[in-house]
Amino acid sequence: MESTTSQPLLQAVETGSAWLLEHYEHLHRHPELSMEEHDTAEYIEDVLQGLGLETQRIGETGVVAIIENGDGRVVLGRADMDALPVTEDTALEYASETPGVMHACGHDTHMAGLLGAVRTLTEHRSAWQGTYIALFQPSEEDASGARAMIADGLADRIPRPDACFACHAMVGPAGQVSVRPGPTLSSADSVRITVFGRGAHGSMPHLSVDPVVLASSIVLRLQTIVARETEPGTFAVVTVGALHAGSSSNIIADRAELQLNVRTYDENVRERVLAAIERIVRAECEAAGSPREPEFTYDDHYPVTDNDADLHDLVRASFDAAFGDDSQTATPATASEDFCAIPEAFGTPYACWFVGSTDRERYSDAEARGAVSTEIPGNHSPAFAPVAEPTVVRIAQSHVAAAMAVFGSAE
C-alpha cells in the first residue's frame, strides 16, 4: 500500500536531484565544527524559508521546520549538522574551503537529504496527510547537540511525534538502504583518567613513583576486560585512545592522563565494563604506591540506538517496496549517535538506518578481495567521500518512504 502512495514522491525526489546536489556541494564546501554551525543554520533556514516554511531556532544552531498538512500522524526526520577537525584529502571539486575542517562523517549528505524530503513533501501535499517535522540538529560529534535542543525546550516547542527517523551515510554500495530492529548503534562513553605518581630526576627512579610505568601497566591490564571478563560473543570495545605523561627524557613526571573510549550494545555490559575500568585503575595505583587517588571524568555519553521493532517492520516493508534489492538488513555498527535522545524526550518510537555511500564498482571490487576495510575510507577519514549521486538522493527518498509508511498507517 505504501509503495503505491510513495512511488510518485520518490520519483519527484529523483527529478529534483540537481537541486539537492547543489545544496549538498555547498554544505560540503562550508563545514563547521560542533556547536559552531552558525552559517550552516542560516543556510538551512534560507532553504526552508524558500520552500515557504517557517523555521525556529532551538539549541542555538538547531533549526526546525514544521509542515502541517491536516489530521494524521506526526513524523519527525532528523539530520545532524556538524563537521570534524579533519583536513580534507579527497580531491573533490567541491572540497572543504575551511582549512582543517571537513564533513568527514557525511552529515552534509544527511542535511541535503532531509532538505530533499522536505521539499518533496511540501510540494506534494495532496499525496499525504499529517504533520512532518524536519529537525536539523547541531553537535552530534560530541554528543551535546540533541541535549542542547532538549534543554532549549524542544519538547514544548514542537508537536509530539508519533515516530522519529534518522539515517547515517556509511561505507557500502551507494544507495543501499539497511535497517534492523533492536540495537543498531552502540553506546559510547569517553573516560578521562588521571593517575598520580611522584616526580623525580630521571637518574633517581628510587625517589619516584613513575606514572609512565603505572600507566603502561594500566593500559595492558585494561585489555583483559574484553578478553577475560566479557562473555565471548558479547560486544564490547575498550580503547585507550590517548596516553600522556612527561615532557623530557631526564624527568620522571608526577602524573599521567589516559583517555578511553568504551562501546557496548547493552546497558548491563556497559556498567560492568565501566566498573572494571575503575577497579583496575585503582588497584594498579595501589600496587604502584601512588600517592593520590586517581581521578575519573566521564563525558560524551552516547546511549544505545535501539530501533523500535514495530516501527522497524513498518519502515522495512516500505523500503522493500520502494527500493527492492537495495533494501537490506543492517549489521549493527560500533559507531554511536545521540539521535535517540530526541525520541526519548517524547517517549516516541524511532528507527535509524544506514545508506551506503561508496561507488558500487569500487565496493564490489574491494569486497571480492576482502579489502573493504583497508581500501575504502570510512567515516572520519580525511578521504571519506560519499558518491553524491545516488547517496544524497537515496537519503531523501528513504526519509520520504519512512514518513509515508507512518502517514499511511493512520487509520
120-149 positions binding Zn ion, by CB under 5 A: none
Q: For residues 245 and 231, what is the distance between their CA atoms, to the nearest angstrom?
A: 33
DSSP 317: H
Q: For residues 138 and 323, what is the distance between their CA atoms, to the nearest angstrom?
A: 30
* Known active-site residue 82: yes
Judged on CB neighbours under 10 Å (0-12, 13-18, 19+), 233 is exposed
From the list 14-22, 36-44, 99-107, 349-357, the region that binds Zn ion by CB under 5 A is 99-107
Task: Answer yes or no whether residue 169 interacts with Zn ion by CB under 5 A.
Answer: no
Pick between residue 105 and residue 276 the one whose CB is nearest to Zn ion: 105
The pair phi, psi for residue 316, each rounded to 5°, is: -60, -40
Task: Answer yes or no whether residue 27 interacts with Zn ion by CB under 5 A.
Answer: no
From the list 85-93, 103-111, 210-218, 396-404, the region that binds Zn ion by CB under 5 A is 103-111
Report the alpha-carbon angle 11-15-17, nearest 5: 115
Pick between residue 196 and residue 350 the one whose CB is nearest to Zn ion: 350
DSSP 231: P
Residue 206 annotated as lining a ligand binding site = no
Residue 141 annotated as lining a ligand binding site = yes
Pick between residue 101 and residue 277 the one whose CB is nearest to Zn ion: 101
Query: Of 2, 80, 88, 140, which one is the catalytic site residue?
Result: 140
From the list 28-36, 105-113, 150-158, 358-366, the region that binds Zn ion by CB under 5 A is 105-113
Q: Between the CA of residue 282 and those of 69, 192, 216, 276, what are the distances in Å?
A: 58, 14, 14, 10
Smallest gap from Cβ 358 to Zn ion, in A, equals 16
Task: Give the per-residue SS3 of 25-75.
Answer: HHHHHCCCCCCCCHHHHHHHHHHHHHCCCCEEEECCCEEEEEEEECCCCEE
Task: Answer yes or no whether residue 351 interacts with Zn ion by CB under 5 A.
Answer: no
* Known active-site residue 140: yes
Which of these, 250, 140, 152, lies nearest to 203 by C-alpha position?
250
The closest residue (CB) to Zn ion is 105
Task: Answer yes or no whether residue 105 interacts with Zn ion by CB under 5 A.
Answer: yes
Number of residues that bind Zn ion (CB under 5 A): 1
Q: Between the CA of residue 32 and those of 19, 100, 139, what are the distances in Å?
A: 22, 10, 10
Residue 36 annotated as lining a ligand binding site = no
Q: For residues 67 and 204, what is the distance between their CA atoms, to the nearest angstrom?
A: 71
Task: Answer yes or no whether residue 79 interacts with Zn ion by CB under 5 A.
Answer: no
Pick between residue 105 and residue 376 the one whose CB is nearest to Zn ion: 105
Binding residues: 105, 107, 141, 168
Query: Which residues lie near Zn ion (CB under 5 A)?
Result: 105
Q: Which residues are catalytic?
A: 82, 140
Binding residues for Mn(2+): 105, 107, 141, 168
